[in-house]
Structure 1
Amino acid sequence: MSPLPAVLDHIDRNLDASLERLFAWLAIPSISTDPAYAAECRRAADWLRRDLEGLGVRAEVREVPGAHPAVMGRVEGPSGPHVLFYGHYDVQPVDPLNLWETPPFEPRIATLPDGRKVIVARGACDDKGQVMTFVEACRAWNAVTGSLPVGITFLIEGEEENGSRGLPEFVASIRDELKADVALVCDTGMWDPRTPAITASLRGLVYEEIVVRCADRDLHSGLFGGAARNPIHVLSRIVADLHDADGRVALEGFYDGVSEPPEEVKARWRQLNLTPEDFLGQVGLKESAGERGRMLIEQIQSRPTCDANGIIGGYTGEGTKTVIAAEARCKVSCRLVGEQDPEAVSRAIEAHVKARIPADCSYEIIRYKGSRAIALPFDMPQLTAARDALGQEWETAPVVIGSGGSIPIVGDFKRTLNLDTLLVGFGLDDDRVHSPNEKYDLTSFHKGTRSWARILAALAG
């Protein structure tokens, strides 16, 4: 007989004790970006180390060069798969403090106007509450069976909110200790309060700055206007030509490596009925500006993009100054999918710019970031197992979606460890992550813990 029902019952009966442990961790102000809280970050790491040791995990606080320490732990399971679980114990600063209804490091249970009970504290969702859903699921398995259904390596860092300084190098230096069959991350969200989600892809990134230079100084527009080349005009044409009339990116070869999701996946996306009115209405818009003929969910998840993120040139102060600028700048980011090559996209951007630069002007491309997209195979066995487990817990089929953003460590897991990553989280859109009065739904914490208990059982086969 499967022990899973007894594990789930243990989670239900011990919810109050689970919350007490979470509240003790939330009370530690582990703000990674502020050096004044370095000791608190280490205290949060020590707290988690002791908690993991209580589960029979060989745990330790490991130094990460130039960064706050990481918590490492390992427990062997029965013969079968071994997983790497990643999370972070550091949190965002709390400013502006006056907007918090109660002190941010005094966690509490609150009731929202719609009747939902929520955990309120900095880190409640991002990421201490999410990490503890996994830890508490492991605790329940250990309490009921005396062991865990799979082998687990824990890697909980203290620098995620500060750019994960030193972590890629740290991971590379201990790659042999991190050998596993799959990585698990709990730092994402639900589709809605009743529908779980698995994030199966993360878009890659190219970020560059385009500089156009014409005259060797700013010019009087009355004396030189009509004759002198204006770099703002030149740059505006470059930016305008990045897309065609149908919203497609017009860079040569940009779509090389972009593949279509399986039709069955598209069919499930259609059933979600995500409309421009629903998605864009919350930011005061109502019409999609993306590729014509594509569902909105495709535009924000599975299709590549190219956006101007900032444009600077000439006089931008108060009042008037009649000049023709000497130079103009634009910051551009491209979100990549599939097998798009960041270097090839970068070359395409430069070719696009070069073709539009007049003979007596010059340009410069400043390159900042480049990373490939990450995508799980749609038929990946662990993905299927997690999807079935979530469906059983939430009594509704989970949504398998992509994320428009990037989580760099997932790329490092793939490149350095050759590990695919399942991203399963229970955050909600209204959790006020990084904002005052951050919260985590009590249901997300409770059913998230039950969900991980089911996923661990499913991964064990």
Structure 2
Amino acid sequence: MINAIETYVQQHNEIHMEELKQLLRIPSISAVAEHKKDILHCAEWVAGALQKAGLEHVEIMATAGHPVVYADWLHAPGKPTVLVYGHYDVQPAEPLELWDTPPFEPTVRDGKIYARGATDDKGQLFLHIKAVESCLQVIGSLPVNIKFCIEGEEEIASFHLPPFFEQHLDKLQADVVTLSDTQLYGPGKPALMYGLRGLAAFEIIVEGANSDLHSGLYGGGVPNPIHALSKLLSSFHDEHGHVAVEGFYNNVIELSQQEREAFKLVEPDEHKLLTELGVSSLFGESNFTFYEQTTSRPTLEITSISGGFQGEGIKPIIPNQAIAKVACRLTAAQVPDEVMDAVEKHIHTHKPAGVRVRLNRLLRGNPFITPIDHPAMQAAANAYEEAYGTSPVYMRGGGSIPIVEVFGRLLQAPVVMLGFGLPGENLHAPNEHFHLENWHKGLSTICRYWYKIGADIKL
């Protein structure tokens, strides 16, 4: 069956590429209000592509922001249901002068297709639509039930998708969620991203006197909020890089030996890293490698400090306020507000005398993980290996994609990230592109994955 599907893909490659170009020509920039018509046009185009592929119940569904496109094919009784997530919106293309060819005039050269959205996420999303078409055209059916949920706000943080998802939870019920918006480890080297860190971001505000004070008249006699803030910030870590906030590590799921062994295959050369970054040494918890520290351990990073006069020259005052912005990356199963509770307790406990402190909570995002030994992950690993001729590496992402955690939590289902982009494809940057060798291998991987999920696998 897979051979016949691959033959169909090869025979229809020219048609598929032209359709992909049509999709890439639409400037569906979600962040810019003047492109609202383009967003609606793109949603309509995607809906038409889903219908053409053979999907049913195609709908453009309203949200409080940009619409979601839904479709399904539910004719595999007794088989699992796969929910495919993707997004049809793209980043702005500026600075336009840095593009070698116009961002919304797709160009193929050197085995790559160049356009805004080529790899993030239109090219990767379109793989799933064409996989449906290929299976239905060749076999006449799908090995699993399929649902599509394609949004238009991913590039502006998917603000309206969680409430939409909760509102339509019955409609979107599935046994496994799949998305393709991540990367391979390298050319010909697949990767399964199975975990993402969460986020807790906040401000620490330290206040002293009721106004700025002349340092000649009051210096040495009243508390200085910048001094107090500096002392507070220095209390957050010990000399070994460990976060010294009581309760900070509550709920952290420790790495298994299997995971630590898997990470050895993707651990960067630390000596090379030092040279590239221009630093003399690295920093972090001493019992963990750099890759473990930056993907699988929670962090507390001070991202900015402000207080007093910020203009040219010097203004000799004792400021009445100092502010630090802090971002904590969290790992499963930490809870953002519980972490911020611990930090808030810490700053009040360690507050220097004579100042007031408060914590202003800004951002929250839960961490996500699907264990690497989950049957859905193993099905994906086997599909990758068959299509690419090599086993995938297992990776965790140091950043956050909050909507992934929302899917897993609300559906109580595993989330499998089948990425087909490559590092260096310039997503969010000029000359974004997608390597077309991964178009064919990506289609093969997706189809193989569905057949493996449709086998007698207990999810």
**Corresponding residue for 1:12?**
10
Identity of aligned residues (%): 38
Look up the SS of the partner of 2:188 in the other structure.
coil
The equivalent position to 1:391 in structure 2, one of 382, 385, 389, is: 385
Kept in 1, the 8 Å contact 2:202–2:359? The answer is: yes
1:365 & 1:347 partners in 2: Cα distance? 9
Kept in 2, the 8 Å contact 1:306–1:333? The answer is: yes
1:430 & 1:174 partners in 2: Cα distance? 37
Q: Deviations over 1:154-205 (max 9, x none)?
A: 0001111122232111111111111110000111111112211111111111
How do 1:284-323 residues align onto structure 2 when only pairs under 5 Å count? 284-285=278-279, 287-323=281-317
1:285 & 1:86 partners in 2: Cα distance? 40
**Corresponding residue for 1:105?**
104
Kept in 1, the 8 Å contact 2:425–2:434? The answer is: yes
Q: Deviations over 1:1-56 (max 9, x none)?
A: xx112112222332222211111100111111112111111111111111111122
Moved more, 12-21 or 382-391: 12-21
The runs of 5 or more residues in structure 1 that have no matched partner are 112-116
**Corresponding residue for 1:274?**
268
Structure 1 residue 197 and structure 2 residue 195: aligned? no
Letter in 1 for 2:322: A
Following superposition, the deviation at residue 346 of structure 1 comes to 1.0
Q: Deviations over 1:197-224 (max 9, x none)?
A: 1111111111111000111111122222
Letter in 1 for 2:218: F
Structure 1 residue 87 and structure 2 residue 81: aligned? no
Look up the SS of the partner of 1:246 in the other structure.
coil
**Corresponding residue for 2:33?**
35
Q: Deviations over 1:117-161 (max 9, x none)?
A: 211000001110110122222221112101222110000011111
1:288 & 1:360 partners in 2: Cα distance? 36
2:188 & 2:35 partners in 1: Cα distance? 37
Letter in 2 for 1:40: D
The equivalent position to 2:403 in structure 1, one of 405, 409, 419, is: 409
Q: Deviations over 1:377-433 (max 9, x none)?
A: 232111011011101211221011111111121122123222221111112221111
Q: Give the aligned CA root-mean-square deviation in angstroms.
A: 1.6
Look up the SS of the partner of 2:362 in the other structure.
strand
Q: Given the superposition, is the C-alpha separation of residues 40 and 340 from structure 1 closer, same or farther in structure 2, using an over 3 Å criterion?
A: same
**Corresponding residue for 1:358?**
352
Following superposition, the deviation at residue 316 of structure 1 comes to 1.4
Number of equivalences: 454
Kept in 1, the 8 Å contact 2:200–2:329? The answer is: yes
1:31 & 1:197 partners in 2: Cα distance? 29
Q: Given the superposition, is the C-alpha separation of residues 234 and 394 from structure 1 closer, same or farther in structure 2, using an over 3 Å criterion?
A: same
**Corresponding residue for 1:444?**
438
**Corresponding residue for 1:114?**
none
Q: Given the superposition, is the C-alpha separation of residues 278 and 83 from structure 1 closer, same or farther in structure 2, using an over 3 Å criterion?
A: farther
Structure 1 residue 173 and structure 2 residue 167: aligned? yes
The runs of 5 or more residues in structure 2 that have no matched partner are none
Letter in 2 for 1:358: P
